[in-house]
Amino acid sequence: MGRTCLVTGANSGIGKETARALARMGGRVILACRNAERGEAARRAIVEDTGNASVELRLVDLASQRSIRDFAAGVLGDHPRLHVLVNNAGVWLEKRRIGPDGIELTWATNVLGYFLLSQLLLEALARAAPARIVNVASQLAGELDLEDVEFERRRYRGVSAYSQSKQADRMLTWALARRIEGSGVTANAMHPGGVNTAIFRKGGGIRALAAAAYARLNFKSPEQGADTVVWLAASQEAQGRHGRFWIDRGEVRCRFADVQQEERLWSLCARMTGPPRR
């Protein structure tokens, strides 16, 4: 009740259901979305459904570092204390694309977007401590090549780019957790399970269409997929839980835990985003 929560990718899927649940609990919820029309539709739907008018839309392109910096500056100006950050926005692209900063789009959005936004908002989270960062990762994780994260030498495949990004999201969570130990801010990563969301349909191609059809028949609903996110963000039971990987509210060992590789990844992301200017 009354806590300020920011959810990226909140216009649909897991992000929207997370935002809805936090609003239903009485939180002040910031929807971080790229598309103004879809974001406003989500905001209105959440307000109508929950009766909570403290839901605001802010636009950000998480593939653009300038957009992220401008967005973070606006949030910090209006909300100097932030209690919850949910990094959820992500893409799955069947063809290699380059983002606004000249960086491969999946890596720019799914990895650098998480990394830079968390860095820029840490000050507000620390002021609000106890505060929480929840990174939506995946069991579909692997194939990270720190020498070729943009698939400049490897053959690009959408599933490989996505899988690599989700391995990186987990590893960055553990590296961040070490850096904020004792600050009153916790950082956790989670796997929502197989969830029927638009990310499959947006990939394009025959494989994406097949995955979308399979998801409709077999996967969780977005509301079910958001359950562990909301639990980590808001429950008393999760208070103080830090630097862990979660599935269905249960802690699971992360097979990518490797301090040396995590630090290499952190240094790479720091170089690719530059100093956290405000």
| Active-site residue list | 162
The alpha carbon of residue 92 and the mean position of all alpha carbons in its chain are separated, in whole angstroms, by 14
- For residue 57, give the 3-state DSSP assignment: strand
Query: Alpha-carbon Rg of the chain, whole angstroms?
Result: 17
The beta-carbon contacts of 142-150 under 8 Å, at least 24 apart in sequence, are 142/167, 143/167, 144/168, 144/171, 144/256, 144/265, 146/261, 146/264, 146/265, 146/268, 149/104, 149/107, 149/111, 149/268, 150/103, 150/104, 150/107
C-alpha to C-alpha distance for 223 and 170, rounded to whole angstroms? 22
The backbone torsions φ and ψ at residue 148, rounded to the nearest 5 degrees and listed phi first, read -155, 55
H or E element, residue 259:
helix 259-273
C-alpha to C-alpha distance for 275 and 270, rounded to whole angstroms? 7
In sequence order, the 6+-apart residues with CB closer than 8 A to the CB of 171 are 144, 256, 257, 258, 261, 262, 265
Q: What is the DSSP letter of 249?
A: T
C-alpha to C-alpha distance for 269 and 278, rounded to whole angstroms? 17
